Amino acid sequence: DVLCRQRIASLASYRPLYQAVLDAELTLMAEVALRLRNQFGAKPRQLRVDGVVVQIPKKHAKRLQEWAEDTWAAGKRFKVSQLE
């Protein structure tokens, strides 16, 4: 018989993994906020990891809808909706 020592490597906590994912998403949302400010002059009212709430003039609504249809980094597409 041959014996060998096995070592199992695992994370003691998934926190670093979760933190990396959240940081990447927040960086992407910051890019969205920056583009909104540069292209539409819109300042974010609320910035979260999963979305940005902005107020834009009605004259930019159609352009914003077209802008949202572009595919961004990592193949992401953004949903644009109007709050009532």
Chain segment 6-35, per-residue pLDDT in tens: 777 676 778 888 899 888 888 888 888 888
| Cα separation, 52 vs 55, whole angstroms | 10
Sequence-ordered list of residues with C-beta below 8 angstroms from that of 39, at least 6 positions apart, any chain: 63, 67
Residue 32: count of CB within 10 angstroms of its CB: 18
pLDDT band at 80; cut points 50, 70, 90: confident
Question: For the chain, how many residues are written?
Answer: 84
Q: What is d(CA 42, CA 37) in angstroms, rounded to the nearest whole number?
A: 5
pLDDT at 36: 83
Other beta carbons within 10 Å of 60 = 15
| Whether residue 39 has pLDDT greater than 80 | yes
Residue 43 confidence (pLDDT) above 70? yes
